[in-house]
Chains A and B, each alone.
Chain A
Amino acid sequence: MKKEKALTEPLAFKEPKSFEAALTRLEEISAKLEAGETGLEETLLIYQEGIALSAWCQKKLDEANKKLKWLVRTKGGEIEVKEE
């Protein structure tokens, strides 16, 4: 039953912390698949995760340029981030 779910339902994709984290995970998945020690179910899961991660990476790279933000110190001595 679980196995079928993994096959047909979209993976609950966790947004990576950073681009670096995504790449590291992709490398991990690649290494895991290469080792060939994953069961069929895990293979499917991490394959799906890998495809989702690579799509996420590409999306990140295609993102519109982010605005430059300013880091300033207020008169009260607080650090504040301001949009340009």
Chain B
Amino acid sequence: MLVFWEKFQLLLRLGGAIEKVWTVSELTRSVKENLEVNFPAIWVEGEVSNYLLHTSGHRYFSLKDESAQLRCTIWRGAGQYLNFELEDGLKVHAFGNLTVYEKRGEYQLNVLKLLPIGRGELEIAFQKLKERLFKEGLFDEAHKKPIPEFPERIGIITSPTGAAVQDMLKIFRRRFPPAELYLYPARVQGEGAKEEIVAGIQAFNEWGEVDVMILGRGGGSLEDLWAFNEEEVARAIYASRIPVVSAVGHEIDFTIADFVADLRAPTPSAAVEMVVPDKEELEGVVKGLKERIGGLFAHQLAQAQARLDAVLGSYGLKKPADLVNQKSQFVDELSRRAQLALSNRLAQMRLELKSADERLATLSPRAVLARGYSIVRRRPDGRVVREYKEVKAGEGVELIFSKGKAEAEVTRTLPEE
């Protein structure tokens, strides 16, 4: 009480001197500057109340404890990095800087980062690992493998009992029935989860039969998703030859696996839609190609037909027909000529025969006799006499003439002169 009294006296004396009068603005600005300089980066613990997400995207709320309140703002830009939704009553650690809203003379915390209490340590570990792996190049875009356009064999690493696998199956079956799905059953939270996830990634790589693999898990708390923030998992994803799609939690959840993976899907269901083509779309493509091929074929056929017609109409192909005509005409002529030749020949042969007959007739002894020759035969044996030695004087001979005979007697034989 005494202390208060002394202070009061002192203030009264000072006030009486009126050394300086501040304007409200000056004072407020000065307070603001002091606050900003002295509290540039602080963590404050408190409970959220009067939370309001404005249509502008800025968030307003108060942090309070048993006896005090602190106005807080999260500007839209900072708000997009929030990985959970705020609500009244939530205990949080807020990180930011103090400032003053001059119009109302209120000091407030400009929040840059907000963590629900209990996540602090994990969050810090997450940030540290993320930074380290980033520097090491595990998130490099250049290292990321393309996801095949039509993966038909797909590996899934997730819990066989979770909702995620059922959700994924349903969408796979609706969207792309040819897909062959291989599940590597793995725990996705708690003890042994990271080892099983790593084993799954390695098993698919060793097997080598899938085109892509999806690392999936439904939503959950940061602790639930923690296996996907483990360095071993990150390194296994990085080392995978087969493209890896991370599909962990909800849209707002980011894990280290998301940063290393070749593709990040906001949810397991979304992963399926990102990985396999849509059946109806594909049917459209196939149908389009089929019609195109059919149309082009018909067109080519029509062209070929036109070419064929043109060729058939040309002299080149008409020629054979013409040739046939000509040949048959020639054949006709030949046969006509052959017949003619034959009959001529026959006639000639008949003529020749006749002349041969005539010549034969000339050769007959009668004809010779008729020309004045005679045949002499010996009387006793009737032999035709050809020379003088064949007869002797005194022998009787027979003379045969062309007409009739005569009997005579050889009087003398004479050798040739």
Contact = CB atoms under 8 A, between A and B. Distances in A.
Interface of A: 18-20, 23, 26-27, 29-30, 33-34, 36, 38, 40, 43, 47, 50-51, 54, 57-58, 60-66, 68-73, 79, 81
Interface stretch (B111-119, B216-224, B291-299): B291-299
A30 B177 CA distance: 25
Contacts of B204: 71
Interface residues of B, number: 40
Contacts of A29: 293
Given A54-B289, A71-B184, A79-B203, A20 B282 contact: no
Contact of B178 (A19, A43, A70, A81): A19
Interface in B189-203: 199-200, 203
A65 B279 CA distance: 13
A20 B148 contact: yes
Chain A CB count within 10 A is highest, among B181, B286, B292, B297, for B286
The 5 closest A-B pairs by CB, nearest first: A33-B296, A54-B290, A50-B293, A20-B150, A47-B297
A34 B279 CA distance: 27
Interface string B140-157: 000000001110100100
A51 B177 contact: no
B203 A71 contact: yes
B182 A33 contact: no
A19 to B, nearest CB: 5
B185 interface: yes
Contacts of A20: 148-150, 152
Contact of A33 (B177, B207, B282, B297): B297
A73 B186 CA distance: 11
Contacts of A23: 150, 285-286, 289
B178 A61 contact: yes
B178 A33 contact: no
A18 B297 contact: no
Nearest to A73: B203
B163 to A, nearest CB: 15
A38 B200 CA distance: 49
A68 B294 CA distance: 37
Contact of A69 (B152, B181, B289, B290): B181
A61 B292 contact: no
Interface in B159-178: 160, 169, 173, 177-178
B183 A63 contact: no
B214 to A, nearest CB: 13
B181 A64 contact: no
